[in-house]
Structure 1
Amino acid sequence: MVTKDRSNSQPPTNLGGRPLALNSEHIAVLHEIVSDHAQASLVEIAGELERRCGLHVCDATIRRALRAERIVRLKAKRRVSPTADKGPKR
């Protein structure tokens, strides 16, 4: 039986698997985009990231990166329709 020494506080550098799609430069640009356009959708943010960096990533990758960096976007305000105030039609 082999046990691993857990005294090393640093995580291993290569855990295998697929490399990350966004590096620290991309995260910095992503932070700028979200601070400039706080109510933009994930698709709009992905388009802007592609325009600025030339990197095409899906919206799920951007969502994960924003959550990992604890960047919070503002939700778009909902429009109130004029018929919503009237109540039910019955």
Structure 2
Amino acid sequence: MTEREQIAQIEYVAKFGKLSKRENQVTKLLFEGKTGRMIAAELHISENTVKYYIKNIYYKFNVQSRTELICSILKGKNEFLSK
């Protein structure tokens, strides 16, 4: 594993480690393509609460959109799994 891959692996694990349990759940549902409304219904929380979690997730992953979040997760996951 190259140094770059090791750094990517550490960053990937660290990012998911920084998420709360609920943020992790929301991230997984976003990754599945669910909307905020669908996530709210599935987790039995308000849409505003989902928006709050998404805002925190974006901050922790240093992204601005769902697309960037998914790309960041896929990139990290692929580099993590290719060890």
Scaled by the length of structure 1, the TM-score of the pair is 0.38
- Structure with more contact order per residue of length (Cα contacts < 8 Å, sep ≥ 6): 2
The answer to which structure has the higher helix fraction is 2
